Structure 1
Amino acid sequence: MTGLSPSARRVQDLLDAAGLGHRVVEHEGSTRTSEEAAAAIGCTVAQIAKSLIFRTKETGRPVLVVASGVNRVDEKAVGRLVGGKIARADADFVREATGFAIGGVAPIGHSVPPLVLIDRDLMAFAEIWAAAGTPNAVFRLTPADLVSLTGGRVEDVRKAG
């Protein structure tokens, strides 16, 4: 696969190393938002596995929440699950902790290994799609592959209502 941008190539190399056969696809248009990604791919917004970065307030450790594209994250629940209060991460923190820009954060290959929580709602799908390092790159995987690749815990992270 030639022609991938450097960040997408980094994700593809990690996927190749995992040996699961996943392929990064770069689209002409943006896949930055869950809605844009679903439209470009031709799947439901719920099948988009969006990577959201938070940080623990006490230690500053990155926390990756991989949530269904239709869900809002319950930050208090995430804090309880990781054992401390969390805060939203700004763009500089996201870039430093993950090596990716907001809108293209892949669930793998982070510069600083994060605590990882995976939205239980994603487990209902045969296949899901995640960002692959740039705001227009994605890859298809199964929920089980997401758990395996990230070492994440499947939890209830969706905000009620």
Structure 2
Amino acid sequence: MEEVLQRVKDYIEALPIELKVIEFEEGSTKTAQMAADQLGVTVGKIAKSILFLAQGQPTLVVTSGDVKVHTNALKKILGAKPKMAKAEECIELTGFPPGGVCPFALKAPIKILIDKSMERFDVVYAAAGTANTAVPITVEELLIITQGELVDICGE
């Protein structure tokens, strides 16, 4: 896991903006709610990165921690029925384990969709490659860094 975290740190260091990785005690942030509790924020500020496959094509969906992806809305965008990637597929395609998927510094280029639910917050906290790390980042910075598309796939 150290090499995964180092990959994210190296990626961040090369960016023209200043971001930092926050590390937590192992096991203290297994869920979005636990991460929010550690950070002293609402669960909505936790950016969940979920990998979906549609006709074999990967798409990383980044949402607020307090919403669920509407697969019908995602299907309309992707043009095919999406299914959540298995843990092995997630690691193979992103280089990160589920629960620690960083929306940038990915192993290979992947289409990224960022849900509008994140716009409610000045800062959100994305995983930094492991389940016990976070990177505070604005949605605007996230859109720029990931070259992601802002979409409404969780609804209100």
Name the TM tier (shorter chain): over 0.9
Match of residue 65 from structure 2: 69
- Partner letter of residue 10 of structure 1? R
Q: 1 CA distance for matches of 2:37 and 2:148?
A: 27
The farther-off stretch of 77-86 and 46-55 is 77-86
* TM-score, reference length from structure 1: 0.91
SS in 1 for 2:90: helix
Query: CA deviation digits over 1:23-70, x for unaligned, max 9?
Result: 1111014323210110111111011111000011x2x12110000000
Q: Tell whether 2:11 aligns with 1:14.
A: yes
Distance 2:155 2:68 in 1: 5
The number of residues matched between the two structures is: 155
Q: Percent identity?
A: 37
**How far off its partner does 1:132 sit?**
0.3
Shift of 1:115: 1.3
**Stretches (4+) displaced over 6 A:** none
CA root-mean-square deviation: 1.4
Match of 1:149 in 2: 145
Q: CA deviation at 1:109?
A: 1.6
1:87-108 CA-partner distances (Å, limit 9, x unpaired): 1110110010010111101001
Q: CA deviation at 1:159?
A: 5.3
Structure 2 residues not aligned, in runs of 5+: none
Q: For 1:159 and 1:30, locate their aligned partners in 2 and report how far apart those are by CA, in whole Å.
A: 30
TM-score (norm 2): 0.93
CA distance in structure 2 between the aligned counterparts of 1:83 and 1:32, rounded to whole angstroms: 32
